[in-house]
Amino acid sequence: MIGDHGRRFRLLGLLALTLACGSTSALSEATAPTEGESTGETTGAPSTGSSGSSTGAGDTTGDTTGEGEGDPSAALQVIRGGTIVGLGVADIAIVDGVITEIGAIETTPEEVTIAAAGRWIVPAGIDSHVHLDYLRAPLPMAAGGIAVAVDLAAPIAVFDERKAGEFAPLELLVAGPMLAAPGGYPTQSWGSGGFGVECASTEEALAAVDDLADRGASLIKISLENGPRLSDETIAAVVTRAHERDLRVLAHALGDADAAAAAAFGVDGLAHTPLEPLSPATIAALDGLAVISTLHAFGSGETAMSNLGALHDAGATILYGTDFGNSVTPGIDPIELMSMLAAGLDPPEVLAALTSTPAAFWGLAHGRVEVGAPASVLLLSGDPTSDALLLATPEAVYLDGVLQDIGLRGGGGIAVEPK
Ligand SMILES: [Zn+2]
């Protein structure tokens, strides 16, 4: 399953070139699914039939007109005729950014129609490892198909910045600063500007957990990197306290022994696929834990890819993540997708790692196309369960019912200096 890496890696390089060359045409065709200019105007897609019964809850045909003129998210929008992956051809009604009905939906004069016949529809993506404070690019991320990002280390100001809407239109889950020993990772390297909170004792570490929980953190991140690090006793206490506060705990652990230690401490997952060859015992210990891919950020090395394949086979929960901020491709990263495929995940598994699996892990309403979920969806030119790379070039991106400007995503990278 994970053999023949040489051939797969060569393929990876070729695909990267193809994508780079193809990006212009992808962008120029991207306006194909259009919204009606005015209410009641249908933009050409044949309806999938308006006589059948709808599967969704609620009747959306009344009461929504007249609200929020000029703001498409406030009107009734209907995505017509697309193939919802896992469900088949169906229309999707959206009111106030939420999916209100799925099925064969009768046409109404007041609706704004989004023609999607011949297109595949999937939930927008969840990137479970970013540093948006490092690289403030929420719009390119959104334009590239990401609805939710999980920030795995940022200075304490991230909580206020999030409150001020600085990461809109993304929904951002945050760890705040990583818990670190005095002088420990990442405080002496890339994270010197407040990305770690230095804890000299168990009491200080527990106070930091409580402070982060009070501020609205979704998780606690600890480091098992070489150099000064929190004592075993402190880490065990931190994991217990974090779980008492309903926070996930992720460990930065790149080595075999560190990954095994993280599992023994009872963390919920690893922030990266480890880079050192993992022993069978460590792989077994990580069964049932989450592992965030971050393959591209470390060069998609053969060892990491073998580790991810083995962890996947052994029952770890694989989550798509890019380490954006330390990596520089905003939005759904084709190289990350390719690397996950080369590691042995099949296209439906890659799609799940980007959508439904992290939604369940993080307790999000996103990551699924269903009534009551946010209307955050991608319109694709083909079936991503056959070709997962299509996820990286959505023809249209809707987040909470609002069409994103996919021109903002750039041609595979944005002009920044990686640190
Ligand atoms: Zn990171």
What is the 236 CA–ligand 1 centroid distance (Å)? 22
For residue 409, name the pLDDT band (cuts at 50, 70, 90): confident
What is the 154 CA–ligand 1 centroid distance (Å)? 10
What is the 128 CA–ligand 1 centroid distance (Å)? 10
User: Mind listing the pLDDT tens digit for each residue in 32-74?
Assistant: 333 333 333 333 333 333 333 333 333 333 333 333 344 554 5
φ, ψ dihedrals at 287, nearest 5°? -55, 125
What is the 172 CA–ligand 1 centroid distance (Å)? 15
**Residue 391 CA to its chain's centroid (Å):** 12
What is the 327 CA–ligand 1 centroid distance (Å)? 9
What is the 119 CA–ligand 1 centroid distance (Å)? 34
In the prediction, which pLDDT does 407 show?
86
For residue 411, name the pLDDT band (cuts at 50, 70, 90): low
Assign residue 401 a region (left: φ > 0; alpha: ψ between -120 and 50; beta: otherwise): left
In the prediction, which pLDDT does 11 show?
41
In the prediction, which pLDDT does 42 show?
34
- 98 contacts 75 by C-beta, under 8 angstroms: no
What is the 300 CA–ligand 1 centroid distance (Å)? 15
What is the 41 CA–ligand 1 centroid distance (Å)? 46
Structural domain boundaries of the chain? 124-368
What is the 30 CA–ligand 1 centroid distance (Å)? 31
In angstroms, how far is the first alpha carbon of the chain from the final one?
34
In the prediction, which pLDDT does 75 show?
87
Does the pLDDT at position 190 exceed 60? yes
Q: Which CATH architecture has domain 124-368?
A: Alpha-Beta Barrel (3.20)
What is the 110 CA–ligand 1 centroid distance (Å)? 46
What is the 365 CA–ligand 1 centroid distance (Å)? 24
- 123 contacts 148 by C-beta, under 8 angstroms: no
What is the spatial distance between Cα 252 and Cα 53, in angstroms, rounded to a whole number? 50
User: Mind listing the pLDDT tens digit for each residue in 213-272?
Assistant: 999 999 999 999 889 999 999 999 999 999 999 999 999 999 999 999 999 999 999 999
- 90 contacts 322 by C-beta, under 8 angstroms: no
What is the 419 CA–ligand 1 centroid distance (Å)? 12
What is the 13 CA–ligand 1 centroid distance (Å)? 24
Does the pLDDT at position 292 exceed 80? yes
What is the 132 CA–ligand 1 centroid distance (Å)? 10
What is the 296 CA–ligand 1 centroid distance (Å)? 12
**Which tokens sit at 259?**
């990954």
Strands 88-89 and 83-84: antiparallel
